[in-house]
Every structure is written in structure tokens, then in C-alpha cells.
Amino acid sequence: MPTPRTIKLVGIFGLLVPVIFVSIFPLLVMISTSFKTSQEVYIPPPTFLPRAPTLQNYVDIWNVVPLGTYFWNSLLIGLGSTFASLVLAIPAAYALARYRFAGKNFYVLFLLGIQMFPPIVLILGLFRLVAGFNMLDNLLTIIVLNAVFGLSFNTWMLMGFFMTIPQEIEEAAMMDGNSRVGAMLRMVMPLSWPGITAVSIFSFMNGWNEFTLPLTFLRSQDKLPLTIGLFKFVTRFKVEWHQLMAASLLATLVVVVLFMIVQEQLTRGMVAFSEK
């Protein structure tokens, strides 16, 4: 007779396995399609595994479109918006975590609430504003706007991390002659590094995956990010699925590698935030 623990484990795995398979199935299809030829992609019935696997798609995508330029532009948007957002979010989050003032709780809820408004509802007003400043077709515009849209979320997250650090540490540093800013930079920032890393990853992913803002404000081919550049594989009469999947897989690998590099810091940051 199976024990209740065994029955429970079987039930859990019986539920998890289908969920995991459904979740990773699109990724498996993307990987499989990236190794197929253009003829096999459209041959009915569709095959899951490629009959004649080829790496030619990964060679051709660099010649069909300026993929290297698209990668570079996405990297600039991701890193630039992350840096700009953190420069503003860190002092704001520290102030919210350490100071008391009238309306603080409302302001914190306001920061969380404005995240519910998608950028698309503001796109018309933003277009007129950007055009008025003559900043259309400029990567700096995308970096600034993306940083602004992520600022409230980053501030809210970092505030939670700063609240987990005892104030006595800063008070001891200030008794040794440090100013408030010096205590924050020398004591709070090093202890908050896992949290800052976690917020940086989320901010970078938002910049890397940004689609609406570049589609609206960029026109020059040499300024398009990867999210827009992938549409070059969608022609008027045909979709080059084999090349599109190869390019998409490379774009996905960038984020996966980044996660692997900072996995430990990211995990520590999320655990610290859950204990807030």
C-alpha cells in the first residue's frame, strides 16, 4: 500500500509535469524550428524534430538583417535605462524607507498604482511632447522614457530592501563621522547589493524587451532595437519562421546568460524582499 506521503508526491508531480511541459513547449518549438530548413517549415504535416538539422539559419540571419546593430541598440537601451532609473530610484527609495512624512503611505500606494497604467495610454501625448523637443528617432528618448516608466516600480522594490537593513548600522557610521549620504553609500549600499541586482535585472529586461516605444519614436534602421528588428523576417507574403526562430533564440539566450551570471545575487535579493 502506498503511503499518504507517496500519494501526495505523485499527485504533485502529476500536476506539475503537464504545467511545466505546457510552459516550455513554445521554447522547444522555437529551438526545433531554428534548425529546420525553409522547405521543411511549410511541409505538411508539421514535424516536431527537424528531419535534416542545419546551422545555416544562424549564419544567414546576420546577412539578412543587421542583427548585430539591433543587438547593440537593445543593449544600449537596456543598460542605459537601468542606470538612469537606478540613479533616481535609489535615493528616492532610501528616503521613503528612512524618513516619515505626511502622506507617505498614500504615496507608496500611488507608486504601486501607477504601474497599472500601460504606456500605450500615454503614447499620443508623449509623441507630441517628444516631437516638440525635436527628439524623435533618438535612442536617448527611448532610454529616458523606459527609465521613467520603470522608476516607480524600482523605487517601490528598493524601498522594501532598504527597510530590511537596521538603522542602527547607519547611526553607528554617523557616530564615526560619516554624513547621512556617506553612511548610505558606505553601509547601506553594500548590504543592499543583492536587492539592487534583482531590481537591475528586472529593469534591464524591461528595456531589452521594450517594443511600443521604439515602434513609435524610432525610424532609422541603424537605431532599431532587436524587438523591432525581428519583424524584418516577416515579409509581405511570407514569414521566414526558421530564421525568425533562430534570431529569437539568440535574443533569449542573452537574458538567460545574464540570469545565470547573477543568479545567486538575484535569489538573495528576492529572499530578502519576501522577508520584508
The average pLDDT across 174-192 equals 80
Q: What is the DSSP string of 228-267?
A: HHGGGGB-SS-B-HHHHHHHHHHHHHHHHHHHHHTHHHHH
Interatomic CA distance for residues 142 and 10, integer angstroms: 49
Helix (H, G, I), strand (E, B) or coil at 114: helix
pLDDT tens digit sequence for 40-53:
888 888 788 888 88
pLDDT beyond 70 at 267: no
Interatomic CA distance for residues 272 and 184, integer angstroms: 18
pLDDT beyond 70 at 269: no
Q: Could you tell me the pTM of the whole model?
A: 0.83
pLDDT interval class at 143 (50, 70, 90):
very high
The residue assigned the cell 537601468 is 82
The residue assigned the cell 544567414 is 60
* Neighbouring C-beta atoms of residue 137, cutoff 10 Å: 12
Domain boundaries, the chain: 61-274
Evaluated on CA atoms 208, 213, 214, 220, the torsion sign reads negative
Count of H-run helices and E-run strands, the chain? 15, 0
- According to DSSP, residue 119 is labeled G
* Neighbouring C-beta atoms of residue 243, cutoff 10 Å: 24
pLDDT beyond 70 at 270: no
Interatomic CA distance for residues 32 and 245, integer angstroms: 9
Residues forming a β-bridge with 239: 234
CATH fold of the domain at 61-274: MetI-like fold (1.10.3720)
pLDDT tens digit sequence for 211-247:
889 989 998 888 999 989 888 787 767 788 888 899 9
pLDDT beyond 70 at 268: no
The residue assigned the cell 527609495 is 93
- Write phi, then psi, for 80 (nearest 5 degrees): -65, -45
Interatomic CA distance for residues 269 and 263, integer angstroms: 10
Grid cell at residue 183: 553612511
The average pLDDT across 74-101 equals 90
pLDDT at 76: 94
Q: What's the length of the chain?
A: 276
- According to DSSP, residue 174 is labeled H
